[in-house]
Structure 1
Amino acid sequence: MAEENADEQAEATTEEAVSEDAELEKELESEEEQERLPFPNARVVRLLKSELDPDKMVRARVKKELNEWLGELVRRISREINKSPYTVVEAQDLHKATKKYDQLDEVAQQKERLISYMNRIKGDCNILIEDVEKSFDVGGNVRRGRKLSAAAQEEQDAQQAENEEE
């Protein structure tokens, strides 16, 4: 019974999403919406689909939001270019404004390398901690058949004698 309700809810949700998507698709095709979007929607969708697997379908909401996001990105870059003191915008100004976006992949790769390196260090530290714990008891005496100093041997003998008396 519960499975039937879950299936019905899933179907209803899917139907709502499909109808909402159809409405958005019609809205995107209208001339008014095309004027409002920063870029021609067909071109944005073509670029998007060129990088996706052929079996992927793109919802209308994704198409619209990607177009709007790209417009916002162009605005940010334009504001950065506008900080240039010169009246003519050169390619150098564009490259300077887009540099942080171009370096995102490099930053992500560097982050992964650093995390990997720190995990190796952490592993080495854990091994060293285990070695120290295996090598020394609470009193600071050496274990594993290693010879104790004369003072440490006397102290260990005294502790054993006390334990035997009790």
Structure 2
Amino acid sequence: MAEQEEKLGKTGINEEGEALEEEKSEVSQEGEVEKEKVEEASEEAKENDDTQEETPEKELPFPRATITNRLRENLAKGKQIKGQVKDEMNLWLGKMIQRIAEKMDSQPYTFVNYQMLKEAIAPYESIQEMDIEREQLVTGLERIKVDCDKLVEDIDKGSKRKVGALKLESDKLPFPKATITNKLRQHLSEGKQIKGPVKKGLNIWAGNIVKRVSEKMNSYKYNYVDGGMFRESIETYESIGEIEMEKERIIKQLESVKLSCDVLISEVQRKFVK
């Protein structure tokens, strides 16, 4: 900020000279405006046949004659300009300048310079590139959706792969059948039927869990096992539930991102129109 203000100070003398020239130019332009008003009055009766009431001159940001003459310079010769067009162009141009000023004013400096002006008006000069920008945005959002689908697919594949590789077969059951069955019934809805392979499979799996935890505790170089070793050995298993819940949350968030992308794509398609 200090560097820009210092630079501005160095050019102060030149700008004072430019300011004097601008004042002279403005005086000359005032005379031109008066001339334009006279010319406008002669054309008003012919062109202003709109039924809509004219906006009072004092409420317009620019002299009506100035806007009318600027329009004539860029319209085909002899084309009639309705009064509504003159006033709406006048008001609209005032709003455009307001937007530019507010954009420059948002900069954290005590001045506005030419670079800020260019940055403020640049978006309005790239209308021809709007189709390209729209396609880039839509393509990027579609890519995000594809990435979301890929992540969800990877999470699902990982779970399905584990299920497919799981084998719960053994000739010897580590726990009494009735014990496992009763424990299951305590946590299932009343009346729910338990298939035979479930009873056997859970029995074998529970035995495998005890085996793994025991092997983990046995890996400690002590001649005993205690509560601390046990808690460390089961820590991973205790976090599995949270991990599975987190996976579900991630999938829901990814689906939400996809929906947001669909909304954004719709908005881009609707608003990025030349």
- 2:186 and 2:238 map into 1 onto residues whose CA distance is 20
Structure 1 residue corresponding to 2:212, chosen from 39, 58, 76: 76
Q: Deviations over 1:131-151 (max 9, x none)?
A: 2222235xxxx3xxxxxxxxx
Q: Deviations over 1:76-111 (max 9, x none)?
A: 111222222322211111111111221122112212
Matches within 5 A, 1:56-135: 56-135=192-271
TM-score (normalizing by structure 1): 0.54
Paired position in structure 1 for 2:177 = 41
Amino acid at match of 2:226: E
TM-score (normalizing by structure 2): 0.34
- The alignment's C-alpha RMSD in Å is 2.1
- 1:76 and 1:42 map into 2 onto residues whose CA distance is 23
1:113 shift after superposition:
1.9
Query: What runs of 5+ residues in structure 1 fail to find an aligned partner?
Result: 1-32, 143-166
1:72 shift after superposition:
1.2
Identity rate, percent? 32
Query: What runs of 5+ residues in structure 2 fail to find an aligned partner?
Result: 1-170
Q: Deviations over 1:4-35 (max 9, x none)?
A: xxxxxxxxxxxxxxxxxxxxxxxxxxxxx8xx
1:74 shift after superposition:
1.0
| Matched pairs, number | 104
Q: For the pair shown, which has the larger CA radius of gyration, 1 or 2?
A: 2
Cα separation, partners in 2 of 1:111 and 1:89, compared to 1, 3 Å: same
Cα separation, partners in 2 of 1:86 and 1:129, compared to 1, 3 Å: same
Q: Deviations over 1:105-124 (max 9, x none)?
A: 21122122222222222222
Cα separation, partners in 2 of 1:124 and 1:53, compared to 1, 3 Å: closer
